[in-house]
Structure formats: C-alpha cells, structure tokens
Amino acid sequence: MKHRLKLISTLILVIFISQNIFAQRSIDKKTLVSIGTENVSVADFMKTYSKNNSYEETSSDSAIQEYLDLFVNFKLKVMEAEALQMDTIPSFVKELDGYRTQLAKPYFVDETVNEELLEEAYDRKLYDIHASHILVMVGNNASSADTLEAYNKIVKVRDEIIAGMDFADAAVEYSEDPSARDQEEIPNKQRFRKGNKGDLGYFTVFNMVYPFENAAYNTPVGEISQPIRTSFGYHLLKIESKTDALGVAQVAHIYVGLRPNATTEDSVRKAEKINNIYAKIQGGMSFEDAVVEFSEDKGSAKNKGQLSKFTCNKVVPEFVVIAKDLKPGEISEPVKTLYGFHIVKVISRKKPGTFEEEKDGLKERLAKDDRTHKSEEAVIVKIKQENNFSVYEKQKLEVFASIDSTVIEGKFKTDSNYVALSGTLFKIAKEKHLQSEFITYVINKQSQQQKIEREVYLNQLFNQFVEEELLAYEDRHLEENYPEFADLMEEYHDGILLFNLTDKMVWSKAVKDTTGQLEYYENHRDSYMWGERVDATIFRMRKPDEVDKAMEIILKYDNDGDAAKALDADSIKSVRIIPGTYERGSNKYVDKVEWTQGLSSPMKSDVETLVVAVRIKEVIPPQQKELKEARGLVTADYQNYLEKQWIEELKQKYSVSINQEVLNALILRENSK
C-alpha cells in the first residue's frame, strides 16, 4: 500500500512539473501588450529584453516591469513615426539602405574559405621560395586554338627538360619572358642587360599571382612543376630552394660596380679591388670608414652604406642569403651579383611573428588580393545549390546565336526587324530569367575587346549576368532566409525612426525653443541652486627649490596681480596662478583646505612634482543660478519634460493595454530560473 501511495505521489509531482513547464512555455505565444493595432507576444518582447539586458539586470524583480515601460514608449514613438510616413522620406530610405549594404556583407562571404586562406597565407609567410620559370604567353581571352597551341608548347618544353635539357638553357631558348635572355645594347636607346635565365630570385606569399604562388609552394625543391596557367600564360617552375623566411632586413654595403657586358679583364680588376678592401677591413679598418673611402655607391655612402629595409623579393638573391646567414653586426666576404661586387654588413633582421601578431596585416593583404575570389566563388556555388539553379542550354545557344560579332566592337544593338527572344534562359528557385533580359544586359555592358572570340566574350558576359542575378536574388531574400538579419534590419529601421522623430519632438526642439526654456526655468528656479562656494586662487608650483621664496611673495600680496608681478620680478617662472569660483568637489586642493579667509600651507602632490597652495578670498553662501549659468541643466530637464509630455500624448492617441495575468506569469517564470 505504501509503495502504491509513493508511486501515485511521484506521478502527481511529475504531472504537476510537466504541466508547469508546458504552462511556462505556452505563454510565449500569448499577447503581453497591445499598442495601437499591434499585439506583442511574450516571445517577441523577451527577444528584445534578453538582448538589451545583462543577466544581473534581468534577474531583478522589477527588471521586466521597468523594461516593459521603456519598450512601450519605444514602440509608441516608432508607431507615430510610421504614421507620419517618416520611413518614406528619401533621406531615411537612403540611410537605411546604406546600413543594409554594410550589414549584408557578411552573408556574401564564406568565412570558412577566408579562414583557410588566412591560415594558408601565414604558413607561406614563414618560408621564402627561390624559383626559376619559363613562360609561354597566352591571354585570358585567347581562342581555344591559341590556348591549346600554347599548352602544347609548354608541355613539349617540359618533356625536353625532363629528358635532360638544363632548365636555364631552356629558359633562354623558349621562355617568352624577355628578362630570361640578354638584351643587346642599342646605341642611344637601350643599355646592354644581362638575362636572368629564368631566375626569379626569392619571393614569399603575396609576391606573385595566386596560381603561380600555389605552384611554387606545392612543388618539391629541385623538381619541375606541371604547366601552370595564370593571366600571363603557361609557366613551368623549377624550385631552387625553400628556406625559413627572411622577414624584414636591413644591410649596409661597400659596392664596386661592374658593367653587365664587362670584359674578363674588367672583372679581374674589380674583383681585386673588392678583395683589397676586404683585406683592409680584416686588418682593422672599420666597415664605415671603408664605405666612405672606397664604396662606388655614393648615395648609400652618405649613410654609412646603409640601404633601405627590404623583404626577400626586393633585392638580389645574394643579399637574401647573406641576411639569413649572418647575425646583425657581422660582415660578409666579397660577393658578386648582377650589378658588381659587394661587402655586406647586416644591420638588423625581423622574422615573421606569431599568427596573432601577423593576422591583421594578412587580412588587409587578403582583402586586396585576387585569391579572395575563392570566397566569392564559394558563396555563388552555395546560392546555386540552395536555390536549384539551372541553365537552359538550348535557349542559351539560341540567344548567343542572335548576337552578332559587332558585340566585340561594343556596338551590338537591336533594330525594328529584330525578333525578340522570350524563352527562359535560367532559373533561380522559381524565378525565371528570360533571353530578352540577357540581350538587354549585353547591350548595356558590352565594350570594345581585343583578341577574343565572340563566343568567349558572350560566355564572359553571361557568367557576369548570372552572378549578378544570383547575388541580387540572395540579397532580396536575406530577411526571409536569415531571421537574425531581419531582426537586425528591424532594429536599424526602428532606431533611425526613433532618433529622427525624437530629435524633432524633443532634442532639437528643446534647444531651439528659448521661450519654453525660460518658462520652464522660471517655474523650477529652486531646482537650480549653487551650493556653498568660495572665491579662491590656486597657486601651482612646479620647482620645489622655489616654493619657499614663492610662498613668501604670495603671502605678502593679497592681490593676485601684484603677486604675479612680484614673482616675475624675482625671476620665479614656475608658479601658475588660477583664480576662480569653486564648489565642493570641483577641485581636490580647494576641498582639502578650511573654507576660511587666508592662504593655506603648501600641499605636495603624491603623484607628481607639484606643490599647491590655496588662498580663500570669500565664502559665498548658496544662491540661485541665473539661466545662463544653468543653461545646460535647464535644457536637459526641459528635454525630459517635453518627452514625458509627448509620451502622454502618444498614449492618448494609441491605446496601450498590458495583459497583467501574462505579465505576472512571465515574471514568475523568469524569477524561477
């Protein structure tokens, strides 16, 4: 029997708890307050309440009631603004659209892709690549035949290198990068320039276009990459080395120049000179003295041979190696570069920092780099997938065929004989886009093109058109697809309306209504009183050794002007005299002294070299402030008065009804958490 009774009691308790939980949840849909024609549910109110109050604030017994009063006032003002059609004013529409554009940006970025790009960029920043390349040029807009020809050529070159041809020799013979080969001298036009045989020197992240960078960091050292397509054409890369990043370095050098087409005799003579200079440094001559006496780089010689700070892609490879191998203060042996001979002294080197230290700078670089298109592309793919995007290929071919080759010249247009096409070109969800829309787009967007086939150009325009329509479609449905965005937009909508109308009815009105201010002041004069004050002078003394003499002079003269003249006559310049009227709490030194006539003893500051004395001239009893003295307080109080008056008028205009039973249940529920 006992067991049965306990079971029944437990069952009743469970039922009670379940009913209580259900009852608590069920009030979310109930109307808490009706304002005009708008009914606000508990859930809608709590969404705003929770967002605008901390846990400590929400746990107070009176918190919900107090916030409900504010919420009602807020809703009344917004309702009035809408009734006045302030949300249709062009300036309001423009301002809200501007905020919407900014708030929508995160929804058109794939943060996962961006984070991956950021981490990839940091990983690459930790290493420098030394590479050589061979280029076969072909433009982005090249025909399929020209593209295939270029590809076949680069594949053939790679096959020859794999079969044993030296990469540098292949670069000289096949590369269409003009820097690979020697440039012969043309009298009065061009100096001789020695070719680099495809050697690009060192580079790191962001120094090359993204596809090239990818190939460089993903190809093993010593190996030849597969053909890589960039906006310049097809490349082959040979990775000479991958080493820890230089970062930012600064060096000084002693320079002995050598012409690019120098004879063997010239080279021997210059080498001998740089070796002799190095021997002098080894023998005890300072590097700086050697710079001044021997360096042929007269520009840097004026600054002890120092060059500007550099990263790995800004200098010849030899300088990168030296800056990595030597410590600050160390001096290299003579080294030869394309420009001549150098003795290099390392001044400083700063390696890349931690991810957190580098993150902000990398984000800035990413925002300006083409690789950010990966994020945009991911967003486009997502929109297509979520909205069952489909292209009608037959209609696409049909509309392409209707646009003649004048589009390459940017001159395509339709005439009276043109038969308009009205078939569906593609669909985004249930939204159809017609062939005629694309024709209009082409007419508006076309421009003169160079070396591009009509079909290639039309495909470019078509892809642009599709992307724009996809993004526009997503933008139009942001509020529908993302409730949090809809809530945010409603907040901005109501916030701007609230600000504009409150400014009109309260803030600006109170400032401009001088008659109303005066009337309010006259009716509330007793609210604007000065407390007990003193007419006093503060003497601030900055030199401790002058304090005694200064105090002697200040004590002698009751008049501040006379004291100032006497101090000046005695060449005491360290005393600042500050006369004024002071209330309690307006100056800590005035507060420290007795408010009786006379000069106080010197007071030392405990935080700075300062000694202060205060002279009390007169104690002023409490008295009323004039309007000009209380203008700021009067204006603020008048604004509060106008707002309360306005709220009462709005409550008369729009009925407000609070469901007390629901409110009590809500307070009980929140306090029981």
For the whole model, what pTM was predicted?
0.70
Can you tell me which residue has the tokens 């309010």? 520
At 346 the pLDDT is: 97
**Distance between CA atoms of residues 249 and 252, nearest Å:** 10
Output the six-digit token pair for 301. Answer: 């010689």
Rounded Cα gap, residues 229 and 223, in angstroms: 18
Please state, as a whole number, how many other Cβ atoms lie within 10 Å of the Cβ of residue 40.
19
Extract the tokens encoding 218.
């993903």
Q: Taking Cα atoms as reference points, which of 306, 642, 621 lies closest to residue 501?
A: 642
Report how far residue 468's alpha carbon sits from residue 657's, in angstroms, rounded to the nearest whole number: 48
List Cα–Cα distances, 521 to 349, 503, 635, 638, in angstroms.
Answer: 69, 21, 9, 9
Alpha-carbon span 273 to 250, nearest angstrom = 25
Share of the chain above pLDDT 70, in %: 95
pLDDT at residue 415 greater than cutoff 90: no
What pLDDT is attached to residue 59? 52
DSSP letter for each residue of 302-354? TTTTBPPPB-GGGS-HHHHHHHHHSPTT-BPPPEEETTEEEEEEEEEEE----
Evaluate if residue 562 carries a pLDDT over 50: yes
pLDDT digits over 113-131, tens only? Answer: 999 999 999 999 999 999 9
Helix locations, 219-316, DSSP H: 264-282, 287-294, 298-301
Query: What is the rounded average pLDDT of the residues 544-553?
Result: 95
Three-class DSSP category at 260: coil
Q: Per the structure block, which two tokens stand in for 104?
A: 């929508």
Percentage, residues of the chain above pLDDT 90: 85
Q: pLDDT tens digits, residue range 264-309? A: 999 999 999 999 999 999 999 999 999 999 999 999 999 999 999 9
DSSP 354-395: -HHHHHHHHHHHHHTSGGGHHHHHHHHHHHHHHTT-EE-HHH
What the chain holds in terms of domains, given with CATH numbers, is: 1-71+655-673 (no CATH), 127-244 (3.10.50.40), 248-351 (3.10.50.40), 387-479 (no CATH), 529-624 (3.10.50)
Contact 506, 513 (CB under 8 A): no
Which residues, in sequence order, are bridge partners of residue 228? 235
Q: CB within 8 A of 135, min separation 6: which ones?
A: 175, 176, 177, 232, 233, 234, 235
Q: What is the pLDDT of residue 54?
A: 61
pLDDT digits (tens, 9 = 90+) for 220-248: 999 999 999 999 999 999 999 999 999 99
Tell me whether residue 247 is exposed, middle or buried, using C-beta atoms within 10 angstroms of its C-beta: 0 to 12, 13 to 18, 19 or more. Answer: buried
Using CA atoms, how far apart are residues 87 and 84, in angstroms rounded to an integer? Answer: 8
Band (pLDDT 50/70/90 cuts) for residue 672 is confident
- Kindly give the pairing relationship between strand 656-658 and strand 31-35: antiparallel
Q: What letter does residue 190 receive in the DSSP assignment?
A: B
d(CA 59, CA 664) in angstroms, rounded, equals 15
* Angle at alpha carbon of residue 250, lines to 247 and 255, rounded to 5°: 130
- pLDDT recorded at residue 60: 62
Q: CA 458, 460, 465 angle in degrees (round to 5)?
A: 90
User: Residues near 476 by Cβ (< 8 Å), separated by ≥ 6?
Assistant: none
Residue 265 to residue 271: CA distance in whole angstroms: 10
Residues contacting residue 199 through CB under 8 Å, at least 6 positions apart:
132, 168, 240, 317
Q: Which two tokens stand for residue 182?
A: 């020697």
Q: Over the chain, what is the mean pLDDT?
A: 91
Say whether pLDDT at 417 is over 90: no
CA dihedral of residues 515, 518, 524, 530 (deg, nearest 10): 160
Single out the residue of 485, 474, 484, 478 nearest to residue 382, CA to CA.
Answer: 474
String of DSSP letters for 76-111: HHHHHHHHTTGGGSHHHHHHHHHHHHHHHGGGGS-H
User: Per the structure block, which two tokens stand in for 459?
Assistant: 């495909």
For residues 421 and 402, the answer to whether their CB atoms sit within 8 Å is yes
Region 579-585: mean pLDDT is 94
SS3 595: coil
Q: Write the pLDDT tens digit of every residue in 301-336.
A: 999 999 999 999 999 999 999 999 999 999 999 999
pLDDT of residue 58: 52
Q: What is the pLDDT of residues 42-86, one digit of tens each?
A: 999 998 898 887 655 555 668 899 999 999 999 999 999 999 999
pLDDT > 60? residue 508? yes
Residue 124: its pLDDT value, please?
97
What is the C-alpha to C-alpha distance for residues 373 and 113, in angstroms, rounded to an integer?
10
With beta carbons less than 8 A apart as the criterion, state whether 630 and 517 touch.
Answer: no
Residue 608: pLDDT band by 50, 70, 90 thresholds?
Answer: confident
Q: What is the mean pLDDT of residues 338-350?
A: 95
Confidence of residue 9 (pLDDT cuts 50, 70, 90): very low
